[in-house]
Chain A
Amino acid sequence: GAVVSQHPSRVICKSGTSVKIECRSLDFQATTMFWYRQFPKQSLMLMATSNEGSKATYEQGVEKDKFLINHASLTLSTLTVTSAHPEDSSFYICSARDGRALAGGPRETQYFGPGTRLLVL
């Protein structure tokens, strides 16, 4: 079936440093990937849409200069949290979708990564 991986699964960093999170589609080509953020006991909030070969589209209220997204290939998107602060501590989850029907599922199905827990001290 379709698998999406994220790396690292957990990261602790000091305030002011930058952190890069990778999202990979392992067995399919993802023309579009999405980045979500989830605070404790809350729902997922879409941050940005990452399209291969073009600039990411950010949701309202998400600082594009702070959350840098690069979708360099059809299987990899990266999210870099620049100059991280404690309020950026959260669970970051990516998802990927392909226009083809994967594993017999609907074309619109998104496949989520396992998430990256970021703690900024």
Chain B
Amino acid sequence: SQQGEEDPQALSIQEGENATMNCSYKTSINNLQWYRQNSGRGLVHLILIRSNEREKHSGRLRVTLDTSKKSSSLLITASRAADTASYFCATDANAGGTSYGKLTFGQGTILTVHP
């Protein structure tokens, strides 16, 4: 069953603005990953944050993880029209400390950045 819930489901912003997407999950995790998907295409891995990490940065991306609240957020700063895509969080569940790589995806946020 899907355990990742994302909000908002859709986000529309102007170029230059920041975009924040949130993800909540239910079970214990090894790590949480964020992916991007352009319409009808495969997924592109953006960033991975482990359960013992609280924040991670990669370029214009900033990811936070709060394991006590079982939630994560993805912030895209200074957005560009090319950032328009669907963004998914995915959790890699903790099975006795072992990661089997089975990802459970959230429902996704559709981000539209207007030029």
Contacts and interface: CB of A to CB of B under 8 A. Distances in A.
Contacts, number: 65
B11 interface: no
Contact of A112 (B42, B92, B104): B42
A40 to B, nearest CB: 10
B31 A108 contact: yes
A58 B93 CA distance: 16
Nearest to A31: B101
A43 B92 contact: no
A110 B101 contact: yes
A36 B45 CA distance: 15
A34 B107 CA distance: 19
Interface string A84-121: 00000001010101000000011011111111010000
B88 interface: yes
Contacts of B30: 108
Interface in A1-28: 6
A111 B45 contact: yes
Given A49-B100, A95-B43, A110-B33, 5 more contacts: A105-B48, A108-B31, A108-B92, A114-B41, A114-B42
